[in-house]
Amino acid sequence: MPQNLFPLDNTKKFKDQKIVGHNRWHPDIPPAVKIKPGTVFCADCREWFDGAIRNDDSADDIRHAPLAGVHVLSGPFYVEGAEPGDLLIVDILEIDACNQEDSGPLSGQGWGYTGVFARNNGGGFLTERFPDAYKVIWDFRGDVATSRHIPEVSYTGIHHPGLMGTAPSAELLARWTAREKALIATDPMRVPPLALPPLPDSAILGSLKGAEFERVAAEAARTAPPRENGGNQDIKNLTAGSRVFYPVFVPGANLSFGDLHFSQGDGEITFCGAIEMGGFMDLHVDLIKGGMAKYGVKENAVFMPGNRDPQYSEWLAFSGVSVDSGGKQHYLDSWLAYQNACNHAIDYLMKFGYTDIQAYMILGTAPVEGRLSGVVDIPNACSTIYIPRAIFDFDIRPSATGAPHQVKQGVQVPRSGN
């Protein structure tokens, strides 16, 4: 292993570590580690809820998930010589769970979880259909995941960091806050909310203390959304072997990352989330001086995915268009079309004996592909979802003869509702 520059003690909470990371974006969070371009290093990552979700058969922890505290991030890493306008090269050399196959209280220690938030505490992509909280526990064997809560399915995970990015400049941060507050103002009482404003409660800001802590906590951006700095992009294809290019907005770039996923389907539709895990990444960083202008990159990550993600060649796919469940026509809404495609897939899987929530959990975590198939054919966008057939222990194809195989149910998916 390369040197671990951000070690985490699995017996301690995130804010009690020797080097304390952060869970907000702000230019004035001090660097945790300084490195030179060309450095190869290891960094531990804590699972995004810092251990609040347990390996058990209750979804109460998901129902009351401490959303104010996410995402606990490793960093910032200050890269010497990095200046605004550069592109920061990040090579993801390795990524894995912290302690495979072991039992342990932290997800990543041989297991991971996927949750669906209750509508009144986070909500999610299909919150109309699934208004309660749910949880599924996955067991890891090498890179393969199985769950006691979902029968007859297993797959090779597509490991990736859900979240990685550079620090925003003060100007950029101000822009984020302004535009997100403006959105919230359009429907401030909405449940779930339209966006998340700055929140001092539960903020972790590295080594900051006192008045400076208070100031930054009040200003800092939440980590939930992806933004110009990369951030919580949840791109499942940022696998080991990927090279990612981030815009640099502050001196030193101040790279941070976390929210590791054992596996995820495109969209992370279950929101809480993929198969969440603590673990580590081996990274290599370098710079393209003046890269933003040189390559026309103003925002968001540019990347070259790795070539070792799990390969599947036989798929079952579903499509959807942008008409909502009430029959109302929306204009070219790819997001709604993807909801419909996902709902169609769930309806289909239920015919094989899965419950609706089991089917939803599969779509959120297996290496499914979600594509923007048609975005111009007014008024309907068409989105499609592709499920690898080999993840099922049985034949999942439609057939003119015989009845669909019925899975044998065991432990049901834990649910926690009102």
Distance in angstroms (rounded) separating the CA atoms of residues 131 and 345: 19
- 52-60, 201-209, 250-258, 370-378 -> range binding a second copy (CB under 8 A): 370-378
Binding of a second copy at residue 94 (CB under 8 A)? yes
Closer of 208 and 232 to a second copy (Cβ): 232
Half-sphere exposure of 88 (CA within 13 A, CB side): 37
Identify residues 393-412 at the interface with a second copy (CB under 8 A).
397-400, 403-404
Q: Report whether 46 contacts 162 (CB < 8 A).
A: no
Binding of a second copy at residue 313 (CB under 8 A)? yes
Distance in angstroms (rounded) separating the CA atoms of residues 43 and 284: 11
- 26-34, 203-211, 328-336, 410-418 -> range binding a second copy (CB under 8 A): 328-336
* Angle at which helices 334-350 and 356-365 cross, to 10°: 130
Binding of a second copy at residue 302 (CB under 8 A)? yes
Binding of a second copy at residue 311 (CB under 8 A)? yes
Binding of a second copy at residue 390 (CB under 8 A)? yes
Binding of a second copy at residue 119 (CB under 8 A)? no
Closer of 208 and 310 to a second copy (Cβ): 310
Report in angstroms how near the CB of residue 398 gets to a second copy at its nearest.
5
Question: How many C-beta atoms lie closer than 10 Å to residue 105's C-beta?
Answer: 11
Binding of a second copy at residue 111 (CB under 8 A)? no
For tokens 């991030």, what's the residue? 73
Residues in the chain: 418
- 16-24, 49-57, 199-207, 299-307 -> range binding a second copy (CB under 8 A): 299-307
Identify residues 168-197 at the interface with a second copy (CB under 8 A).
175, 179-180, 182-183, 192-196
Closer of 78 and 354 to a second copy (Cβ): 354
Report in angstroms how near the CB of residue 116 gets to a second copy at its nearest.
10
Which residues, at least 6 apart from 301, have a Cβ–Cβ distance to it below 8 Å? 164, 165, 230, 233, 235, 244, 245, 246
Distances (CA, A) of 253 to 24, 81, 91, 301, 353: 15, 9, 15, 14, 50
Distance in angstroms (rounded) separating the CA atoms of residues 375 and 19: 46
Identify residues 350-369 at the interface with a second copy (CB under 8 A).
350-351, 369
Binding of a second copy at residue 129 (CB under 8 A)? no
Binding of a second copy at residue 52 (CB under 8 A)? no
Q: Among residues 146, 237, 409, 416, which is the contact residue for a second copy, using CB under 8 A? A: 237
Q: Report whether 380 contacts 374 (CB < 8 A).
A: yes
x/- string (CB under 8 A) for a second copy, residues 259-298? -------xxxxxx----------x-x-xxxx-x--xxxxx
Q: Report whether 301 contacts 248 (CB < 8 A).
A: no
Distance in angstroms (rounded) separating the CA atoms of residues 247 and 245: 7
Binding of a second copy at residue 210 (CB under 8 A)? no
Report in angstroms how near the CB of residue 212 gets to a second copy at its nearest.
28
Q: Among residues 353, 374, 405, 409, which is the contact residue for a second copy, using CB under 8 A? A: 374
Binding of a second copy at residue 375 (CB under 8 A)? yes
Q: Among residues 17, 99, 114, 147, which is the contact residue for a second copy, using CB under 8 A? A: 99
Half-sphere exposure of 260 (CA within 13 A, CB side): 30
Distance in angstroms (rounded) separating the CA atoms of residues 220 and 29: 9
Q: Among residues 20, 52, 170, 316, which is the contact residue for a second copy, using CB under 8 A? A: 316
Closer of 76 and 367 to a second copy (Cβ): 367
Two tokens, residue 369: 């592909």
Closer of 81 and 417 to a second copy (Cβ): 81
Binding of a second copy at residue 62 (CB under 8 A)? no
Question: What are the backbone angles phi and psi of residue 334, rounded to the nearest 5°?
Answer: -65, -30
Q: Which of 309, 301, 256, 364 is nearest to 95 (CA)?
A: 309
Q: Report whether 166 contacts 254 (CB < 8 A).
A: yes
Report in angstroms how near the CB of residue 217 gets to a second copy at its nearest.
20
The DSSP call for residue 401 is S
Phi-psi region of 378 (alpha: psi -120 to 50; beta: other; left: phi over 0): beta
Closer of 76 and 273 to a second copy (Cβ): 273
